């Protein structure tokens, strides 16, 4: 009798796993934790800044991470540096031109080299990054941590659901996206190092 | 007038240095926002929290000290008031 119950339970679990659909994780974070850090480390001056206007969705299936797809958006005007003059320049027409190009986007197109370890998955994600109206294809290593039933802990029990933590670190070239190509490279680095730290929520319906 | 300029130069120099030291002796450019890195306990993500705060940079320090030096220098260009002249003007 016990063996029959166990077999039925295992079969049901397997069936659920097989028919599991990808969850849609929303990256609009009311807690303001989601952020991007950018660093331009030039010989004469290092520029460090952050951005927190993150939104977008990622469709992620914990049973089949390779099938993920999604789009992350960062509001251009949310990019910030501590110095007020530098901030004005950063948002200005020569640099990010936030009035004409209010969003920076990354849309995934394919996933490769997927490796799983427990609830963590690493993969090389290729996608189209649009910055200052210029779209380039880039590939970056991304780590995904699937936190089942952890949404309640983040919302003081007001919402039930899962969390997906996304971390990525990659570099882009300033000139590739037309970000003030005339700026001297000894003062403003050509390479922009980006670190994304994001958490998306998939509430249970 | 010489004395006024020298006192002013001293005050500006000391005040500039004090502001720079009190706001953190920051060796970069002036900042009007300060970022503190925090940790979200659930996701274990580090995130920056920014608050408005004035931090005087090297341009404030340099500018203040240069102004103080300029006033001090100007004080040496002024002719000292002669004490003998003053006595002559007395009735």
Asked if B43 and A33 come within 8 Å (Cβ–Cβ), the reply is yes
Q: How confident is the model at residue A185 (pLDDT cuts 50, 70, 90)?
A: confident
Sorted by where each starts, the structural domains of chain A and their CATH numbers stand as: 23-203 (2.40.128.110)
What DSSP string describes B29-63? S-EEEEEEEEE-TTT--EEEEEEEEEE--HHHHHH
CA dihedral A97, A106, A29, A49 (to 10 degrees): -50
pLDDT above 90 for A135: yes
Per-residue pLDDT tens digits for A59-113 = 999 999 999 999 999 999 999 999 999 999 999 999 999 999 999 999 999 999 9
pLDDT above 80 for A3: no
This complex has an ipTM of: 0.78
* Partner-chain residue, chosen from A163, A167, A197, that has the shortest CB–CB distance to B47: A197
Residue whose C-alpha is closest to residue A51's, from B50, B9, B30: B50
Give every residue of chain B whose pLDDT is below 70, as ranges: 82-91
Instruction: Name the 3-class secondary structure at A70.
Output: strand
Asked if B48 and A35 come within 8 Å (Cβ–Cβ), the reply is yes
> Which pLDDT does position A46 carry in this prediction?
87
Q: How confident is the model at residue A10 (pLDDT cuts 50, 70, 90)?
A: low
Instruction: Report B:5-64 residues touching A (Cβ under 8 A).
Output: 28-35, 40, 42-50, 55, 57
CB atoms within 10 A of CB B46: 15
Asked if A150 and B42 come within 8 Å (Cβ–Cβ), the reply is yes
With beta carbons under 8 A apart, name residues in chain A contacting B36: none
Distance (Å, whole) CA A19 – CA A64: 11
């Amino acid at each position: 009798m016990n063996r029959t119950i166990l077999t039925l339970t295992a079969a049901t679990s397997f069936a659920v796993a097989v028919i599991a659909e990808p969850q849609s994780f929303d990256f609009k974070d009311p807690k303001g934790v989601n952020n991007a850090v950018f660093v331009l480390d030039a010989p004469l001056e290092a520029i460090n800044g952050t951005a927190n206007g993150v939104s977008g969705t990622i469709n992620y299936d914990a049973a089949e991470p390779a099938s993920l797809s999604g789009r992350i958006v960062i509001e251009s005007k949310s990019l910030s540096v501590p110095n007020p003059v530098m901030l004005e320049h950063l948002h200005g027409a020569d640099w990010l031109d936030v009035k004409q190009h209010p969003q920076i986007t990354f849309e995934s197109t394919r996933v490769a080299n997927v490796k799983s370890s427990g609830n963590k998955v690493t993969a090389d994600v290729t996608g189209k990054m649009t910055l200052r109206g210029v779209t380039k294809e880039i590939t970056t290593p991304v780590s995904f941590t699937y936190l089942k039933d952890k949404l309640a802990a983040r919302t003081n029990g007001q919402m039930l659901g899962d969390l997906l933590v996304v971390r990525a670190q990659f570099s882009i070239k300033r000139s590739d996206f037309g970000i003030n190509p005339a700026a001297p490279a000894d003062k403003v680095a050509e390479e922009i190092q980006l670190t994304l730290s994001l958490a998306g929520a998939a509430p249970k319906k | 007038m010489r004395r006024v300029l020298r006192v002013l130069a001293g005050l500006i120099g000391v005040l500039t240095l004090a502001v720079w030291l009190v706001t953190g002796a920051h060796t970069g450019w002036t900042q009007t926002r300060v970022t503190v890195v925090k940790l979200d306990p659930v996701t274990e993500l580090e995130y920056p929290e920014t608050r408005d705060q004035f931090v005087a940079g090297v341009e404030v320090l340099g500018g203040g000290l240069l102004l103080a030096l300029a006033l001090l220098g100007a004080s040496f260009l002024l002719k000292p008031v002669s004490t003998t002249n003053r006595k002559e003007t007395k009735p």
